[in-house]
């Protein structure tokens, strides 16, 4: 008796091979089956009827693509073949893939497929999910509302590195800002307060007041020269700032190599920061509103 492919009897699915009614967990997933999403054979039938892989008793194999007799090591594995070897050699498969990529590269359809595959593989979402989030954000970054990277046409997908949860769409600068701050709301608020305190400071002395061309005198360390040339301070001034901060970053309290943080507009030296916090301040364009918005964004996504 012919049994339909997707017949259920009392909630059980019938295997078309052994004709046994079995629960759904006895069948493997098959995305090509649009009705049930399961294979028509049960797992046991698939295992028992799997073709036996033979051990090749030859050392070379002819590639029909390049017409060369090559060692079997030049052929990749293929579980569906008799001897578990691909029909074409590895080099021919590579050349075919490169030629297909070069032929389709740049076309709208090909770029759309590549982007859809990246969204699925890296973030577990589809193009429809991306478009929905973009519509909910009115087509702008969820943090700066388009104030950072105005020339960026496609927003990046922001996700939690620990849980993999997709939180929203951000511009490149705001996405990197969260990475430098380790997705920490506390560090973002500290950076906001840090910039607020720095706005009350007065400009420090310039390079000319330290000595100008004399910074290249012999016997001066490279660190001293760099401090004088870039920021107009001496190594003693640097150590004073470091002691005032107890040798820690003014934002995240890290004890790694501390950089001199200064305003590019007013030449105000605001303090010493670790490299990541210094980069994060630059990505935020010294804007406390962006840092505050980033902290609120992380709190909402949790």
Q: pLDDT per residue over 242-275, tens digit each? A: 999 999 999 999 888 899 998 888 778 888 999 9
Say how many C-beta atoms besides its own lie within 10 A of residue 194's C-beta.
Answer: 21
* Measured distance CA(42)–CA(25) in Å, rounded: 9
How many residues make up the chain in this entry?
A: 302
Least confident of 52-56, 139-143, 260-264: 52-56
pLDDT averaged over every residue in the chain: 84
- Please give the CATH topology (third level) of the domain spanning 108-178: 3.40.1800
Whether 36 has a pLDDT exceeding 60, the answer reads yes
Q: Specify the higher pLDDT residue, 3 or 67.
A: 67
Buried-exposed string 153-166: b where 16+ CB fall within 10 A, e elsewhere: eebbbbbeeeeeeb
Q: pLDDT for 75-114, tens place per residue?
A: 998 888 888 899 999 999 999 999 998 998 888 888 888 8
Q: How confident is the model at residue 7 (pLDDT cuts 50, 70, 90)?
A: low
pLDDT above 70 for 11? yes
Weakest-pLDDT range from 4-18, 145-159, 265-279: 4-18
User: Considering only 46-50, 122-126, 135-139, 213-217, which range has the smallest mean pLDDT?
Assistant: 213-217
In this prediction, residue 157 has a pLDDT band, given cuts at 50, 70 and 90, of: very high
> Chain centroid to CA 152: how far?
17
Is a pLDDT exceeding 70 seen at residue 2? no
SS3 176: helix
Instruction: Tell me if 252 sits within 8 A of 274, measured CB to CB.
Output: yes
Could you state, in order of their start, the residue ranges of all structural domains in the chain? 8-48, 60-104, 108-178, 185-300
| Element spanning 4, H or E | none
Task: Considering only residues 203 and 2, tell me which one the structure prediction assigns the higher pLDDT.
Answer: 203
pLDDT at 210: 45
Q: What percent of the chain has pLDDT over 90?
A: 40
Q: How far apart are CA 54 and CA 60, in angstroms?
A: 15
For the four alpha carbons of 238, 243, 248 and 252, in that order, the dihedral sign comes to negative
Pairing status of strand 8-9 against strand 60-63: unpaired
- Percentage of residues in the chain with pLDDT exceeding 70? 89
Retrieve residue 272's tokens.
């010493």
Q: Residue 110 has what pLDDT?
A: 87
Q: Is 265 exposed, middle or buried (0-12, 13-18, 19+ CB in 10 A)?
A: exposed
Question: Looking at residue 143, what is its pLDDT?
Answer: 92
* pLDDT at residue 12 tops 60: yes
Question: Closest Cα partner for 148 from 185, 176, 183?
Answer: 176
CA distance 73 to 268: 65
- Inter-residue contact 83 to 77 (CB < 8 Å): no
pLDDT, one tens digit per residue, over 159-213 is 988 888 899 999 999 999 999 998 999 999 999 999 888 766 555 544 444 444 4
End-to-end CA distance of the chain: 56
Does the predicted TM-score (pTM) go above 0.75? no
């Amino acid at each position: 008796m012919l049994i339909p492919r997707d017949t259920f009897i009392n909630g059980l699915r019938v295997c078309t091979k052994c004709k046994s009614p079995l629960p759904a967990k006895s069948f493997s997933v098959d995305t090509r089956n649009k009705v049930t999403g399961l294979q028509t054979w049960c797992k046991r039938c698939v295992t028992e009827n799997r073709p036996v892989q033979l051990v090749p008793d030859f050392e070379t194999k002819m590639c029909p693509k390049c017409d060369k007799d090559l060692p079997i090591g030049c052929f990749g594995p293929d579980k569906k073949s008799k001897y578990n070897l691909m029909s074409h050699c590895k080099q021919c498969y590579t050349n075919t893939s490169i030629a297909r990529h070069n032929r389709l590269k740049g076309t709208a359809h090909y770029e759309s497929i590549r982007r859809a595959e990246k969204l699925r593989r890296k973030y577990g979402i589809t193009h429809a999910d991306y478009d929905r989030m973009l519509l909910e954000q009115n087509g702008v970054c969820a943090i700066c509302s388009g104030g950072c990277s105005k020339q960026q046409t496609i927003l990046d997908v922001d996700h939690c590195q620990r849980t993999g949860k997709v939180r929203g769409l951000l511009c490149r600068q705001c996405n990197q800002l969260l990475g430098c701050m380790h997705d920490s709301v506390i560090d973002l608020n500290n950076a906001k307060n840090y910039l607020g305190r720095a706005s009350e400071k007065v400009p420090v002395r310039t390079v000319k007041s330290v000595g100008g061309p004399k910074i290249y005198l012999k016997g001066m360390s490279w660190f001293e020269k760099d401090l004088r040339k870039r920021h107009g301070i001496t190594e003693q001034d640097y150590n004073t700032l470091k002691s005032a901060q107890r040798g820690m970053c003014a934002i995240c309290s890290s004890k790694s190599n501390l950089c001199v943080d200064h305003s590019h507009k007013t030449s105000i030296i605001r303090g010493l920061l670790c490299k990541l916090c210094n980069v994060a301040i630059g990505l935020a364009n010294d804007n406390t509103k962006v840092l505050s918005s980033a902290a609120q964004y992380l709190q909402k996504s949790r």
